[in-house]
């Protein structure tokens, strides 16, 4: 059984987190057949840096990250914060006051080992403890969409061909009471 430590990040983690973001995002784009979209990769990495800085600068008030460590190396992360502009626009503002779970990343060498489930369960508990009864989540990556469909069921909103022909964007909204506990590590 893997011994993953889950904790909040601190300023001493910034460099390692930036390296982790670059590794996972580059790998994700490659697996999606998008490795040549170098500018988009850099934009995505910068977006995650901004989210992390928003967490650290506000002590978790604007964004709230959790990181997973295995033998003192970052192998996963997850965060929540305000729903993003795409979610708000696509739902005509219906989800503007619903927190979004995002940046659900697992190191490529550690995927399919239950670490993502662990992080998701810890996030569910965090939301519950903060009195947040519901969340939303979105994905434009086809591989991730398959995972989210298994965990959360069919999406509530589908933006057909949003990223090009056959490349949909999906949005889920769930109440914590509706999501199954998925802890298996």
Domain ranges of the chain: 5-133
Q: Which residues contact 178 (CB under 8 A, 6 or more apart)?
A: none
* pLDDT value for 71: 93
Structural contact between residues 10 and 74, judged by C-beta atoms closer than 8 angstroms: no
- CATH topology assigned to domain 5-133: Aminopeptidase (3.40.630)
* pLDDT value for 185: 34
* pLDDT value for 182: 53
User: Tens-of-pLDDT digits for all 185 residues of the chain?
Assistant: 679 999 999 999 999 999 999 999 999 888 878 777 788 889 999 999 999 999 999 999 999 999 999 999 999 999 999 999 999 999 999 999 999 999 999 999 999 999 999 999 999 999 999 999 999 999 987 888 999 999 999 999 998 887 778 779 999 999 998 887 654 33
The model's pTM is 0.90
Q: How far is CA 57 from CA 14, 50, 132, in A?
A: 12, 10, 22
Neighbouring CB atoms inside 10 A of 126's CB total 18
Question: Residue 34: exposed, middle, or buried by beta-carbon count in 10 A (0-12, 13-18, 19+)?
Answer: middle
> Vertex 134, ends 46 and 25: CA angle to 5°?
25
Structural contact between residues 40 and 34, judged by C-beta atoms closer than 8 angstroms: yes
- The residue among 11, 104, 107 whose CA lies nearest residue 53 is 11
* pLDDT value for 74: 98
Token pair belonging to 154: 């069919």
Q: Are strands 99-106 and 134-139 parallel, antiparallel or unpaired?
A: parallel
Query: CA 101, CA 79: separation in Å to the nearest integer?
Result: 6
H or E segment to which residue 66 belongs: strand 64-70
- Classified as helix, coil or strand, 44 is helix
Query: CA 28, CA 89: separation in Å to the nearest integer?
Result: 25
> What region, left, alpha or beta, does residue 47 occupy, with left being phi > 0 and alpha being psi -120 to 50 degrees?
alpha
């Amino acid at each position: 059984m893997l011994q993953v430590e889950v904790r909040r990040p601190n300023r001493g983690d910034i460099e390692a987190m930036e390296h982790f973001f670059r590794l996972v995002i580059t790998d994700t784009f490659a697996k999606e057949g998008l490795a040549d979209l170098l500018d988009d990769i850099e934009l995505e990495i910068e977006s995650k840096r901004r989210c992390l800085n928003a967490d650290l600068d506000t002590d978790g008030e604007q964004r709230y990250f959790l990181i997973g460590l295995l033998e003192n190396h970052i192998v996963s992360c997850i965060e929540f914060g305000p729903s993003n502009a795409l979610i708000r626009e696509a739902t005509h503002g219906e989800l503007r006051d619903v927190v979004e779970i995002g940046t659900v990343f697992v190191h490529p060498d550690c995927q399919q080992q239950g670490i993502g489930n662990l992080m998701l369960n810890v996030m569910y508990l965090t939301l519950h403890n903060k009195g947040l009864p519901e969340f939303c989540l979105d994905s434009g990556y086809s591989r991730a969409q398959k995972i989210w469909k298994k965990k959360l069921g069919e999406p509530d909103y589908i933006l057909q061909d949003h990223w090009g022909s056959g490349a949909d964007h999906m949005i889920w909204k769930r109440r914590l009471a509706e999501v199954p506990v998925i802890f298996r590590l």
